[in-house]
Amino acid sequence: MAARLVPVTVPRAAVGAVLVLHGGAARPEKARPENMAVSPAQLSVLRMIPVARQIGRAGRGQLAVFRLLNSYRGWDTRHTPVQDVHWALGEISRRLGRPVPTCLVGHSLGGRAALLAAGQPGVVSIVALAPWLYARERADPAGRRVLIVHGSNDRVASPQHSADLARTLMPHGTVGYVLVRGGTHALLRRHRLVASLYTGFAVATLLGRDVQGPVAAILDGQHWAEI
């Protein structure tokens, strides 16, 4: 099985790109191959379609936006979504005819993949939405700008784990953590404000646009915010 790159909007003169990464439940090591394929209809994939479209609209014809469908569901040591991100970044450069600054936007395991792939060439910023992380997770964003958004009532991915990771990254670059009070894993609570966070962060870090609210504060050096 191979990863697939789905174009959402691809302007001719794109000056930046956004790669949107889906999540998905972890799978057992002995899962049958027919149960390991990513379906375009699975909820974790469908959830990212409006995210990608909203970023595309915010990009106003300047950002190329793609969705990545991973090679396999979930995550294991044999093949992780990080490897699919590496492939997708090269494929985006090939399709655009040149490398462009790129923002990774991922939810759940896609947020983890975004954080762990942050050091790849061309990546300038990362948005991790409710990232599913291990305790004491390690990542090396190498000076990239990072935004982590997590719901306080997430029962799938620990907001404590993502906050701990944010603390370890803060001395090494622009890292912001936004806690959505009462938010669950899907981040549907205050969804319009949540959307303004990931769209604003993408256009600010890729296009240099002025933004307002928590994103502006984070880019100005504030590390923590609640909404």
Find the CATH number of the domain harbouring 20. Answer: 3.40.50.1820
Domain extent for 78 = 4-226
- For 136: left if phi > 0, alpha if psi spans -120 to 50, otherwise beta; the answer is left
Q: What is the pLDDT of residues 158-191, one digit of tens each?
A: 999 999 999 999 887 789 999 999 999 999 989 9
Predicted TM-score (pTM) of the model is 0.93
pLDDT band at 53 (very low <50, low <70, confident <90, very high): very high
> Taking 70 as the threshold, does the pLDDT of residue 1 lie above it?
yes
Which of 91, 72, 85, 88 is closest to 112 using CA atoms?
A: 85
Interacting residues of 55 by C-beta distance below 8 A, sequence separation 6+: 8, 18, 20, 63, 65, 105, 198, 199, 202
Q: What is the pLDDT of residues 70-123, one digit of tens each?
A: 998 888 777 899 999 999 999 999 999 999 999 999 999 999 999 999 999 999
CB 133 within 8 A of CB 165: yes
Q: Are strands 4-9 and 63-69 parallel, antiparallel or unpaired?
A: antiparallel
Query: Residue written as tokens 């790849």?
Result: 120
